[in-house]
Amino acid sequence: MHEMSIAESVMSIIDEEVAKNNGKRAVRVLLVIGKLSTIVPESLIFCINANKEGTVFQDAEFAIEEIPGKGYCKECDKEYEVGPHQFFCEVCENVLEVRGGTELLIKELEIE
């Protein structure tokens, strides 16, 4: 389950940010996950919940914003929304260039 290693890096970023801001705890965390990132949001939250006991984010509210995948076709000079297994242009079947949807980041972090 690769969400565990991702959860670990998310959790250490939260730890660092809270310490850096001289905060006591994280209140709210908004994560942005691209739909092409292969991360299952539910699994990620599950991993965090399983490991948050006694941390600065144990009572924090975790929210997830999913953003759609974006592909670009050079031939058609067109950008459109794509699913995780769509690699070719719908019109000309050219290989698409991925332009978005692979990201994972902490968009907002509320610290107390």
Task: Supply the DSSP symbol for 38.
Answer: -
Q: For Zn ion, which residue of 29, 31, 44, 89 counts as binding (CB under 5 A)?
A: 89
Sole window of 2-10, 31-39, 46-54, 67-75 interacting with Zn ion (rule: CB under 5 A): 67-75
Which one-letter amino acid corresponds to residue 43? Answer: S
Q: Provide the token pair at 49.
A: 């919940």
**Window contacting Zn ion (CB under 5 A); options: 25-33, 40-48, 71-79, 99-107:** 71-79
Give the shortest CB-109-to-Zn ion separation in angstroms. 39
For the chain, percent helix, then strand, then coil, each to nearest 5? 25, 35, 40
